[in-house]
Structure 1
Amino acid sequence: MVGWRVILYGMGGIEHINNLLLERKDKFDNVIWVTVSTESNKINLQDKIARVLSLNISNCDDEIVRAAKLLAGFETKKRYVLILDDLWESCSLKEVGIPEPTRQNGCKLVVTTRSLDVCLGMSCKAIPMRLLSEDEALNLFLDVTQDRILLSSTKFDEIVNVVVQECAGLPLAVVTIAGSLKAVVDINEWEIALEDLRECTKGSASDQIFEKLKLFTIG
């Protein structure tokens, strides 16, 4: 799920993520950005998404029918990234009419929120916008890769730890880089990723998030 359905919460750094996705919109057929804000009940959310999709569902009161029309609208967008910006309440993607993003359909969902409750309500891993300790970063990295056997191999042991250190405690960098390396068994590819990381570890923490995600989030 991580990498295809991502929820970010916290007060800072959100603008960088949205700007990044818009900057790299050439990687998708469509970038669909919906600013949700305080009016986040199901009907209002459906209306806001419909407007962005150029659909008219205002005359329909049946939530199931409205959701079906939104699903049909998303199908015409092919490979897209959907940004639900500033979501205040959790929601069911199916009930709203948002297709589940998967590797197969090549779509991504990014939700930004200031509330941890939203993350928990949508059954997704919460990615806080704060720096992690070395142990937290390593545990998160291994949790995302779902392959703790990496550390039992001497050839991966050192490079995994160095890659995590280069993430500089940035949770988004840890999650996205771990996701991109999850199925990689060639240590040469890990070494290339490490060199790329070392090229973008300058500047402030938010700048580092921006540069690291530019390498690994979109692709």
Structure 2
Amino acid sequence: AGETSISPISRHFVSCSRWRSSSYHIGNNTIFGLEQDTDMIMERLLQPTEHREVIVIVGMGGIGKTTLASLVFNKARGVEERNTWSGQAPPKATDPGSSSKRSHFDVCAWVPVGQDPDTLHLFSTISIQIGANLDLSRDVAEIKHHMFTFLLDKRYLIVLDDVWREETWHELVDAFPMSTNGSKILMTTRSKVIAISADPASYPHELNPLSDEVSFHLFLSKVFPNSNLNQAMSYPPLMEDLGRQLSKKCGGLPLALVVLGGLLSAKEKKHDVWSSILNSMNWNDNEAEKQCLKILALSYDDLPYRMKLCFLYLGAFREESEISISKLTKLWIGDDLIPQQSGRRRKEDTATDYLNELIQRCLVQPVLLKHKQRSTRVRVHALLRELAISEGRENRFLYCEYSNQAVSEMEMETLSSFGSPSGTQ
């Protein structure tokens, strides 16, 4: 209660909650690129099996693994697709462990994992969502046993999003019964080794880059967020040609497309402006993920100085965390990142404008909560968080001993990981 809310910018885009990552919507209904993948995984998810199956979505960073998993997760538990956001985890169910009357599973849980997760935190996340009421003060072996017992007679769906290490899976697997009732685990990872080892009897679902045409449509939906697709495509042929060249440079990676589109949405829709963007970078990298990182850096470099600092600040939050907007803006103000504007304009209003600009540029993603019209929390995609940490270190703005050791929501009030901004721009 009492949390600041942000304007519903860019709701014309895509579905899937928690920034972190993408099925792609224009308006509320049109999905680009993931329909077939969604159907294929749903078919596997609902197929009866002789034992609990692990279905793994594998692909490079920024390709849309989280979004695809979110679409499937929402569909399996009976939540409408319009309630999801690109690159993010699904909105939480109103009651732990429950979904809707149309759910195909007794209990469902969405678990953001990340590079170096805390095992107890992962079990806590699952416990809350499935209603297990585990005593987390006990040792891990007991917690696993109690969760195993709780799930034994239930058809369950557990999503483990963004798994980086085989060890993480080994630390969790004993808590999930090898049930014969159609229970499933859905995992996303960049690693083919993890994808194969998680369940040798299953086969990974490899997510491929978007086609050039789908890429262009997704790109347009971000460049012109308040227009329908026909209006966006009605620009002069020379602009369309430039747009197609730019979207093709993204290598079919949704994250690169939405960030580049978000960058251009904040600029004049003129031929010379788009040409300068096209000519400003070395686009010759053959690796799509490296190309994606260049595009993210390009969008970051285009930010005004103070807004850059606000973006870098996000690198201090724990990976996959949902960040309270009211706390974030207070922290920005408290650490003197928000300049005092002339007149009576409050710093709080300027901070909200900064956040909305970061959202429009797709550098930050709003977390859409069920039954709420306005978001009160935001997230950052894993690759963008990595960029914030890297740039923050290079500029001596952010100190983080390990990339996963960022502040948690509970530690926000005593944040001390930042240096003061150098300069008065």
TM-score, structure 1 as length reference = 0.48
TM-score, structure 2 as length reference = 0.27
* More relative contact order, 1 or 2 (CA 8 Å, 6+ apart): 1
**Larger helix share, 1 or 2:** 1
Larger Rg: 2
